[in-house]
Structures are given as structure tokens and as C-alpha cells.
A and B are shown apart, each in its own frame.
Chain A
Amino acid sequence: MAIRSIANLRNGEAVPLDQIPQVHPESFRSSILSAAATGHLVAFFGMSEEDHVRLIAIVARDGEPALCVTSTMVDAAFPALTPDLPQAHLFEREIAEQWGVLPEGHPWLKPVRFHRSYRAGRDAWGRSEGDSLVPGVMDYFVVEGEEVHEVGVGPVHAGVIEPGHFRFQCHGERVIHLEIALGYQHRGIERSLEGGPDKRTVHVIEAIAGDMAVGHALAYSQVIEALSGTEAPPRAQTVRVVALELERLANHAGDLGALAGDVGYLPALSYCGRLRGDLLNLTMLGCGNRMGLGWMRPGGLGAAFQPEVAGQISGALARAIPDLERSFNLIRKNSTVRARFEDTGVMPRATCEELGIVGPAARASGVERDVRHDLALGGYATAAIPVATWSSGDVFARARLRWLECSNAAGYLRDVMRSLPSGDVRRNPGELAPDSIAVSLVEGWRGEICHVAVTDARGRFRRYKIVDPSFHNWPGLAVVMRGQPISDFPLCNKSFNLSYSGHDL
């Protein structure tokens, strides 16, 4: 009898944990490599199982509506995937840091968030309890040679922005290599969720990345709904789509302005900054908070969606979107802006696929990867939203793609608002299924958000894994900087606009 090495799981589905195959590490490795050859790694994490660590990997294969899930049991070490699958690189560093398990053969094994191992006395770098952990202190890749110099920036940056350390190896103005050290924002979120859900859980989830609160809270809500067998009412499903697209619109508008600002084109910065606020205010109309806090809740919505609010949002969008289009056109038609945006920070499609890049950054390099389309759930399953792509992979493409997504979202919302189902907006989720695993993916404005929950015998969280899109994409920023003038770093950075807190958890 053939032993299944991979289980298939739909987005938003929960299954008993014993349905996930547990295979030999070598077979685990080959299954992932073969699945990821036509897809990408969605999540790869460890979970304690008695005194061992169970590794679980989830792969999304292009064009397939199911996720591939497999697992293996390890103790001190396992053969690293990274040499054959570069997109596993940060996942394996994370596993090493969290569980003190060594991915053997990993070419770039360094801490990710600078915290103690979850397994007492098991440290991947052999550090003892007494050794102090200083964030950002690790072995950096160093380039040596005549006139080669190093530039270190951060953790505290010049702008109103989160902390992270960037270390550039430069030859003159040219960047040879950029290494990014994060972890300053580490708040211990995953560990703090264990034993839950409790009254604080959803609030911690909403603060994973405050500018993507709707996306993360929706991913969490879908996890709870899967584990409790609850289905959110139709009206809630539709309003969730509205909330997620409003979050996308506000952030994309803000990013377009910030990109213009980074090359000194102030008119578009001003207009888009104002528009971003106007769009946040629509989220506030929907739920009472500009960042959408309190809107998404397991079982539906946290706030009733008043009929007049739909009209107000539609009216305001009809005013804001033409303004945004004109602002984008100012950017698009200004030759000096174009000169800075075009051919800057180019990410070739092949690099994108190799690194497992997600979200607008992937679509701007021509990769059609979008949870709303590939693994559509809830409102997106009943009404499809067009997926935008652009092919040039440069800063211009990432700007252009943001506008295309705004335009698509606005058109989509116009249709959705007209056919808003009536009825209640929340069902009370019951107890969570014990000894089960649930996976939930949401296409947030930055890209693919993945939440995985594993419950214990009492139906409490035994492990809660969060993969923010930024976790996939930070290495992408480092790679596009190679060969760029260092002065283009702010612009390239803004064109990705990644989350530090979402990465650091």
C-alpha cells in the first residue's frame, strides 16, 4: 500500500491533525520540493510534540484550489531545503531560532528575531541562557576589496517608520549586497496566543500589523470558523470584502503618494496623502475605527453594517477614485518621476518565483498569484475580482500595479455594494474542534496572509502560526538592491513597503 506523503486542504478548512501525513525527513523534503516546483511555500513551521519537533509545511501549487500539507518529526537536525529551495531560507532560520533544530546545510543560518529558543536548553547557535541576545548582532556577509565600504542604517530611521537594521556593502555608490536584520519589533505574538483563544486574542491579531488589521483579523476569523464549523452570514461575507478592499485602497493610495514623495514630487504626495485619509475615514464609517479594528470578528462582523453606510461609502468612492486616478496620472506622465521609477529595483519574474514573493510585488513582475483568485473564499468566491499584473518588475511596475488594483477594487466595490445581502452579520462560533489543524489565507494589501492553528485535546490553541506577506518579501527587497545606487534604497524600500511588525511578530 502506498503511503500518502501529502494531504490536500482547502483554504479555510479544518481537518483532524492525524490526517496530516507524517513522513520520513527525506520523503518530507522531496514532497515539498516537488510540490513547490510549480507553486510556492505558504508556511513552514515547527510545533512541539513531546520532546521532539514536528515540522509542518504547506505549499500552494499554481492553478490548484487545494493546499498541499505534509509533516515530519525531527529532534536535533534535519536536511535543509534552502539549498534547493531558496524561498525556504527565512522559514528554516525561524525554525532554528524557535526550536533549536538545525537545518543542516543551510547556507545562511542566522537568527531572525533575536529571542530565546522555545525549547529550553536547545539553541541552534549553542548559546547558553546566560548569553545576552542583542538584536542586529550577528555575522553579516562582508565584501572586501579596495574602495569597498559598508553603510549601516537603523534600527531607528529618519522617517516615521518602524525599526530595522540595513547593512549595505558598497563600491562607490553602487550596492553590491544588502543584508536586512529585523526582530526589533518582536512582541512574542505566536507564543502569547497559545492556550487561546481568549478575550484578548483577536486584539493581539489586529495588532500584528496595524495597517493590515482587517486582513489579519479576517484570516483569524476564518481559522476560528473552520475549527468551529461556523459559516459567517452572507451579509458579513460581503462586508468583509468591502473592508479588505477599503484597506487595500487606503494603503495603496498612501503608497503612491509616498513613492512620489521619495523622488521629490510633492503634488502627488499631498493629494494621495489626503486621499489615503479620506479612504481610512470610509473604514471608520464602516466600523468606528480608521484602521478597521473591531470590524472582522469570528462568525461575521463586530459592527452592524448600516444600510446608509453603504451609500455613503459608494458616494465617497465615486469622488475619491477619479481624484486618485488624476494623482496617479500626474506621476505617470511626469518625465522626471518616470526617469526615477523606470528600471529601478527590477525584480525579474524568475527571481520572484525563486524567492516565493507574494502580493503586489509578485504581480508587478508578472506572476499571477492572488489568494482572492487562486484560493477564493467567502465573498471572493461568489463574486470574482480581476487580478492585475504588470511585467516590468521595477518601481514603476509596483506603482502602476497599485493603481490598477485600486481601480479594480473600486469597480468591484461598486458592484458589490449594489447587491449587498440583507440579514444578520454574525453567528456565534461554538467550541473549537480538538486535535485539529486549520489553514486560512487572505490576500491582504501587501499580499498573502497565512494563519494556521493547531488545537489540543481541549480545543485550545496548541500552536498558532502566522505568516505575514512581509516575511516572504523582505528578501526580495534585498535582492533588487544589488547593483543599484544606494540613493535609490528609500525608493525601492517604499515600492515594497513591507511590514516590520508583521515580520517580527
Chain B
Amino acid sequence: MLKAFFERIRQGHRTLPFPPQEEVLPTGFRGRPALDPAKCREGCKACADVCPTDAIVAGTKPAVDLGRCLFCNECVAACPTGAIRFTPEYRMAATRREDLVIGAGAPRLARPLGSERQLLRRSLRLRQVSAGGSAGCELEASALSNVVFDSGRFGIEFVASPRHADGLLVTGPVTRNMRSALEKTYEAVPPPKIVIAAGASAISGGPFMGGAEVLDGVEKVLPVDLYVPGHPPHPLTILDGLMRLLGRIRSA
């Protein structure tokens, strides 16, 4: 007992000060891509050609669809002029699917829920459903509960039953075999309720896009209120998105 107590003291305080204090992830972490169209050569589509999920539209106004992007670096390696690069920026979640398509400008991050669902602002209980997820997104979501990210500080917690939940956090491309279970779980959540699609697979099908056994994302089955890009999304990307959805982070 005493040993556990001393170990507790030794382990110290590990919770991140985010939010409100912004986190800075190390250089090299592949977060939100940044485009510099001025560097694009006429007619060059080297990035689009190598992109495994066709997330890039090349041309004079290049754009990247963060909902499809696997953050894999193939485009950066293929670009002859350095017009595309990955930044350590983790803030990427959006409330509208079209806001995930980013060009050279600043992206439009998630906005607070409408007035009819503002009662969820002070606490949010989520039921997680893995619908073909590979455990990558699930592990990053469950990391929110550890002492480092500690989403419980903000009333954000995962619960065991959909009947205790305010919404679903769905991962994976939604396999045919999980469709019915996902729909039933959604039905079991009392209204008002929200749906969060976390990860490239849940948003667009990701690497499984177009496959015969998957439905290419949650929005093919349920209305989605928050899209969290990443492959898998960093826990901070999920936390930032949730806090924005609840109207508790509003900065650009």
C-alpha cells in the first residue's frame, strides 16, 4: 500500500494542459497537410497520381480531402517542387463534410452544435462503435480516457450502453456485417443525439474505399455531426474536435 502511494508521488502529474493551453506536436508528426499552389507546375499531377485514396485534386487550385487522406507522405515524396508538406497541426475536425476539402487557405474547423442540442455542452457521454475499424482509431479514442488526455475533465466519457449515451463515436469503414449492429446501436441512443465519424475509414472508407464488403463510411448509414480526420486521428485531434463541437473551444 505504502509502495503504491510512493509510486503515485513519483509518477507525478501527467495530464496535458490542453485545453486551454495549445499543444505543439513534434516536427515530423504528420498532421494537417499544407499546400503552396504557387509552387505547382503547369499540368503536374504527381501528387494526385500516387495518392492511394485519390484524396488530392491537382491543378492551379490544388486541394486535399482530409476525409480521404491517409497522411501517408506519398504525395510529399512525389512532389518535385515541395508544394505539399505535412505540418504537425493536429486541429482538423469539421462539422461539414465539404469543410474537410482544404486548399491553400485556412480550414474551417468544427462549429458548436445548434441550439436544440446545446444541452450536451456540459457533458458528453459517447458509445463507441467499431464498424470495421482496425483498432488504430479505437486505441486513439480510448487514449482520451488515460491520464494524459483525460477527457473526463470536460465531462467527455465513453459509456458502456448506448442508452446511457448522448451519441456515437464510430470508427471503421462500416462493413456490411456491422451495418445492422450500428443502426441498432444508434436507435438505442435517446435523442437528442450526435454521431462522430473518427478516422479516414469512418469518413470515406479510407484504404477500403470502394471495397465490396464495406459501405465507405458512416454517413452512408447515419447522419454525421463531426468528422475527425486522421489515419488514425491523434487523440488531440479527437479531443479538439469534441471540444469545438461542444462550443468550448472557439479559437480559429
Q: Which residues on A are within 8 Å of B, measured CB to CB?
A: 113-115, 134-135, 155-156, 158-163, 183-189, 191-192, 199-200, 203-204, 206-211, 213, 254, 267, 270-271, 273-274, 276-277, 284-285, 288-291, 293-294, 302-303, 323, 326-327, 330, 333-334, 499-501
Task: Answer yes or no: B132 CB below 8 A from chain A CBs.
Answer: yes
Contact A185 B136 (CB under 8 A): no
Contacts of A323 in B (CB 8 A): 11
- Residue from A183, A189, A199, A213 in contact with B50 in the complex, judged by beta carbons closer than 8 Å: A199
Bits for B142-181, please: 1 = Cβ < 8 Å to A, else 0: 1101111000000000101110000000001101111011
**A110–chain B nearest beta-carbon distance, Å:** 15
- For chain B, the count of residues having a C-beta within 8 Å of the partner chain is 66
Residues of B within 8 A of A (CB): 3-4, 7-8, 10-11, 14, 26, 28-30, 50-53, 70-74, 86, 127-143, 145-148, 158, 160-162, 172-173, 175-178, 180-181, 185, 201, 206-208, 211-214, 231-232, 234
A335–B213 Cα distance when bound, in Å, is 48
- Say what secondary structure dominates the interface of chain B: mixed
21 contacts between A and B (CB under 8 A): A135-B178, A156-B185, A160-B128, A162-B130, A162-B138, A184-B175, A184-B178, A185-B130, A185-B178, A186-B175, A186-B213, A189-B208, A200-B53, A203-B207, A207-B208, A210-B136, A270-B11, A273-B147, A288-B30, A288-B86, A501-B134
Which A residues are in CB contact (< 8 Å) with B231? Answer: 289, 293
Closest to B178 in A: A184
Is B71 within 8 A of A289, CB to CB? yes
| Least Cβ–Cβ distance between A469 and chain B, in angstroms | 14
Given contacts A159-B160, A200-B52, contact A271 B177 (CB under 8 A): no
* Structural contact, A302 and B175, CB atoms closer than 8 A: no
Give every chain B residue within 8 A of A163 (Cβ-Cβ).
129-131, 178, 181
Q: Among the interface residues B131, B158, B173, which one has the most CB atoms of the partner chain A within 10 A?
A: B131
CA distance A285 to B173 in the complex (A): 28
Report if A187-B73 is in contact (Cβ < 8 Å); known contacts: A209-B135, A284-B26, A330-B3.
Answer: no
A326 and B11 CA atoms in complex are apart in Å by 10
Cβ contacts under 8 Å, B129 to chain A: 156, 163
Instruction: Tell whether A203 pairs with B147 under 8 Å between CB atoms, given A162-B138, A210-B136, A302-B73.
Output: no
Question: What 15 additional pairs, Cβ within 8 angstroms, besides A207-B136, A273-B148?
Answer: A156-B185, A160-B138, A160-B158, A161-B130, A163-B178, A185-B175, A185-B177, A191-B212, A192-B212, A199-B74, A211-B136, A273-B145, A276-B146, A294-B73, A326-B10
Is the Cβ of A207 less than 8 Å from the Cβ of B181? Answer: no
Complex: chain A residue closest to B159, CB-CB: A158
With A156-B129, A160-B128, A187-B132 already in contact, the answer to whether A284 and B29 are too (CB < 8 A) is: yes
Most-contacted residue by chain A among B8, B173, B231 (CB, 10 A): B231
- Partner of A290 from the list B72, B86, B140, B201 (CB cut-off 8 Å) is B140
Find out whether the CB atom of A499 lies under 8 angstroms from the CB atom of B11: no
Are A330 and B136 CB-contacts (below 8 A) given A187-B214, A207-B201? no
Taking CB atoms, residues of chain B closer than 8 Å to A192 are: 208, 211-212
By the criterion CB–CB under 8 Å, are B146 and A270 in contact? yes
Whether B28 lies near A501 (C-beta < 8 A) is no
Expressed in whole angstroms, the Cα–Cα distance for A136 and B4 within the complex equals: 44
> Chain B residues near A191 (CB, 8 Å)?
212
Question: Judging by beta carbons under 8 Å apart, are B73 and A185 in contact?
Answer: no
B185 partner residues in chain A, CB cutoff 8 A: 156
CA distance A380 to B132 in the complex (A): 33
A504 to chain B, nearest CB (A): 8
Tell whether, in the assembled complex, residue A267 and residue B178 are in contact, meaning their CB atoms are under 8 Å apart.
no
Are A288 and B52 interface neighbours, CB within 8 A? no
Asked if B134 contacts A277 (CB within 8 A), the reply is: no
Task: Tell whether, in the assembled complex, residue B148 and residue A277 are in contact, meaning their CB atoms are under 8 Å apart.
Answer: yes
A289 and B25 CA atoms in complex are apart in Å by 11
Q: How far is the CA of A161 from the CA of B232 in the complex (A)?
A: 15
Q: How far is the CA of A206 from the CA of B50 in the complex (A)?
A: 17
Partner of B146, one of A155, A200, A267, A273: A273
Bound CA span A185–B175, Å: 6
